[in-house]
Chains A and B, each alone.
Chain A
Amino acid sequence: MTVYAAPGQPGSPVRYQDRYDHWIGGESVPPAKGQYFENPTPVTGRTFCEIARGTAEDVEKALDAAHGAAPAWGRTSAAERANILNRIADRMEANLETLAIAETWENGKPVRETLAADLPLAIDHFRYFAGAIRAQEGSLSELDDDTVAYHFHEPLGVVGQIIPWNFPILMATWKLAPALAAGNAVVLKPAEQTPASIHYLMSLVGDLLPPGVVNIVNGFGVEAGKPLASSSRVAKVAFTGETTTGRLIMQYASEHIKPVTLELGGKSPNIFFDDVSASRDDFHDKALEGFTMFALNQGEVCTCPSRALIQQGHYRDFLDAAIERTRAIVQGNPLDTGTMVGAQASNDQLEKILSYLDIGRQEGASVLTGGERADLPGELAGGYYVQPTIFEGNNAMRVFQEEIFGPVVSVAPFADFADAIKIANDTLYGLGAGVWTRDLNTAYRAGRAIQAGRVWTNCYHAYPAHAAFGGYKSSGIGRENHKMMLDHYQQTKNLLVSYSPKAIGLF
């Protein structure tokens, strides 16, 4: 086990700047109004840098830079764009450890996750879209002997992207890689809770991109996000967040007749059929780990398996084993590679989770383990920690219906296949789901019957590039993580060409 020194401390390979301006046109640009806000680490609750508090003036400046860069970038060959994405991936790979530490300090998530998941996935994502754009082809339709329809992929131009705080670098990468591969210039607004790590990334890879192709404007949603989302100068807005802001972004987009892609969260069911417990073997162990995945990233995942549905035949045995597995979670210093659960990303997130622990109890859900804020010693006492918590109740309770975005799972039994699907689909959302069974016919039928964009089958929380990710129902519009995302960043140019010298004869 390794405990990394905190960034900026002796022995740490990571040093954040004391202050970050915007990144516009390939250089640091101070905010027009000269204001900054403090950025605390959730690990200790203490401020570690200041961030530019952007406003509409800064967004306009970034849009100017993006519009200046977009035409040339859009004409760059796919091979050259792919090379640049691959170089970004190589540079990130060479700096994987420092990026992982920086991300952990920014977000509060355990460094074992950033080392093993966030950064390796982000690196692979750039490489995937480098490959996808090289392999993409237009099409042609031979309409008759003299007439051909050619279909070209053209970039949209300048796009706006608003990034969430739960995987700051990885979620930025999910949006940047396809947009850049497709030939767009980007104005990106990081979440105000996690505004710094993307600047740390740009300090490593910024020189690889032509100035103005990627521009980062920091600030609060209402002051910087809204001017970006409502601008007539962006051809598309991509947003990951929640339903009200998602609707508001669609409303702004409707004013300019612009498309949006939205990823708005979920309340994902994780279904364990009786046959999971037919044997105490590796598969049973894997299923228990799959249950415990609700605590991954402190539950701050849009696809958190926050509703565990366990068939009644093995309900008590499986749940007892799951409680034991949950109690074995190691919570502590996120910079310790032995830590499995770190800090919630912000104080307001901590408060919201505690409010749900309260209403869950009031509604009569039983707390099987956890249920409280975690008090950690020393420097960590000021951080935002919550005990991994298992509620037992029924699907009508608020803790079964609303995304808590914390390490909290709500457990209920089900009788049979039909009951499982009914409960699983009794939700406003449809982003992710899990199905666990040794019977592949059951697995297939359940996967098809669940109204969600991603059904993990005998696995959970895997996010490889080349597997489409996106929501049914209120969970959003669009599919990230797959080459089909290129379509969301391109428009089709049709050349309808006649090779006949003859008039049609109408006039």
Chain B
Amino acid sequence: MASRVDITPAAAGVLRSLRGTHGPLMFHQSGGCCDGSSPMCFPEGEFRTGSSDVLLARLEVDGVEEPVTFWMSAEQFERWRHTHLTVDVVPGRGSGFSLEAPEGVRFLIRSRLLSAEERAALDG
């Protein structure tokens, strides 16, 4: 089945650990400078989404009870919707208020183009 967002095993491992410490989790994809263009991970509900946001995925993560939601602002999504996103993790330092930074890692988005079939399935 076509999806907009996947997660690497390494990133899933970090999510399992963060879930144990912080409870249910969410992502909001950031834009703009410095730590931007990166997925920010928060306790679910910490970041208030609204009518300006789009829910791209409910990520199923082995060992995490509930799905991890993945959000993006709607206007940013309009410029990203032709690409498939994979949440990965790399050694890193800072990241706004994202939860993983103190662990010495940073979530990172890797992208590929959606195929025509995937776009048809996802965009209807």
Q: Please list the residues of chain A having a beta carbon within 8 angstroms of any beta carbon in chain B.
A: 37, 53, 164-166, 191-193, 220-223, 225-226, 229, 240-248, 251, 263-266, 300, 302, 346-348, 351-352, 355-356, 358-359, 362-363, 396, 398, 401-405, 428-429, 474-475
Contact in complex: B101, A220 (CB < 8 Å): yes
Give per-residue flags for B24-35: 1 if the beta carbon is below 8 A from chain A beta carbons, else 0.
Answer: 000011111111
Q: Name the B residues within 8 Å of A37 (CB-CB).
A: 102
Report if A398-B83 is in contact (Cβ < 8 Å); known contacts: A165-B34, A242-B36: yes
Binds A, one of B6-14, B58-66, B71-79: B71-79
Interface assignment of B17: CB less than 8 Å from any CB of chain A: no
Report if A226-B97 is in contact (Cβ < 8 Å); known contacts: A347-B91, A355-B110: yes
A405 and B113 CA atoms in complex are apart in Å by: 22
A245 and B47 CA atoms in complex are apart in Å by: 9
Contact in complex: A352, B37 (CB < 8 Å): yes
Contact in complex: B92, A346 (CB < 8 Å): yes
The 10 closest A-B pairs by CB, nearest first: A265-B33, A348-B92, A242-B36, A265-B32, A245-B96, A244-B30, A348-B106, A242-B32, A192-B94, A359-B111
Report if A404-B112 is in contact (Cβ < 8 Å); known contacts: A242-B31, A348-B106: no
Interface bin, chain B: 35 or more
A384 and B30 CA atoms in complex are apart in Å by: 23
- Contacting residue for A242 out of B35, B46, B80, B102, CB 8 A: B35
> Which chain B residue lies CB-closest to A302?
B33
Q: Name the A residues within 8 Å of B73 (CB-CB).
A: 243
Contact in complex: B34, A164 (CB < 8 Å): yes
Determine how close the nearest CB of chain B comes to the CB of A185; give it in whole angstroms. Answer: 24
Report if A429-B32 is in contact (Cβ < 8 Å); known contacts: A220-B102, A222-B102: yes
> Which chain A residue lies CB-closest to B80?
A398
Q: Name the B residues within 8 Å of A404 (CB-CB).
A: 37
A192 and B105 CA atoms in complex are apart in Å by: 13
Give per-residue flags for B84-124: 1 if the beta carbon is below 8 A from chain A beta carbons, else 0.
Answer: 00000011111111110110001011111100000000000
- Contacting residue for B40 out of A245, A251, A403, CB 8 A: A245
Contact in complex: A266, B101 (CB < 8 Å): no
Contact in complex: B32, A241 (CB < 8 Å): yes
Report if A362-B98 is in contact (Cβ < 8 Å); known contacts: A264-B33, A474-B32: no
A403 and B35 CA atoms in complex are apart in Å by: 10
A246 and B108 CA atoms in complex are apart in Å by: 19
Contact in complex: A241, B31 (CB < 8 Å): no
B interface, by DSSP: helix, strand, loop or mixed? Answer: mixed
A interface, by DSSP: helix, strand, loop or mixed? Answer: mixed
Q: Name the B residues within 8 Å of A352 (CB-CB).
A: 37-38, 108
Report if A245-B30 is in contact (Cβ < 8 Å); known contacts: A346-B93, A405-B37: yes
Contact in complex: A243, B31 (CB < 8 Å): yes
Q: Please list the residues of chain B having a beta carbon within 8 angstroms of any beta carbon in chain A.
A: 28-38, 40, 42, 46-48, 73, 75-76, 79-80, 83, 90-99, 101-102, 106, 108-113
Report if A363-B113 is in contact (Cβ < 8 Å); known contacts: A220-B102, A225-B97, A398-B79: yes
Q: Name the A residues within 8 Å of B95 (CB-CB).
A: 221, 348
Contact in complex: B90, A246 (CB < 8 Å): no
A362 and B36 CA atoms in complex are apart in Å by: 21
Contact in complex: A264, B92 (CB < 8 Å): no
Contact in complex: B101, A221 (CB < 8 Å): yes
Report if A347-B37 is in contact (Cβ < 8 Å); known contacts: A221-B98, A352-B108: no
Determine how close the nearest CB of chain B comes to the CB of A251; give it in whole angstroms. Answer: 5
Determine how close the nearest CB of chain A comes to the CB of B58; give it in whole angstroms. Answer: 19
A275 and B97 CA atoms in complex are apart in Å by: 47
- Contacting residue for A192 out of B46, B80, B91, B101, CB 8 A: B101
A257 and B31 CA atoms in complex are apart in Å by: 25
Report if A428-B108 is in contact (Cβ < 8 Å); known contacts: A222-B98, A244-B40, A403-B37: no
Q: Name the A residues within 8 Å of B31 (CB-CB).
A: 242-244, 265, 402-403, 428-429, 474
Contact in complex: B83, A265 (CB < 8 Å): no
Q: Name the A residues within 8 Å of B47 (CB-CB).
A: 244, 247-248, 251
Determine how close the nearest CB of chain A comes to the CB of B86; give it in whole angstroms. Answer: 10
Report if A351-B92 is in contact (Cβ < 8 Å); known contacts: A245-B40, A401-B79: yes
Contact in complex: B34, A221 (CB < 8 Å): no
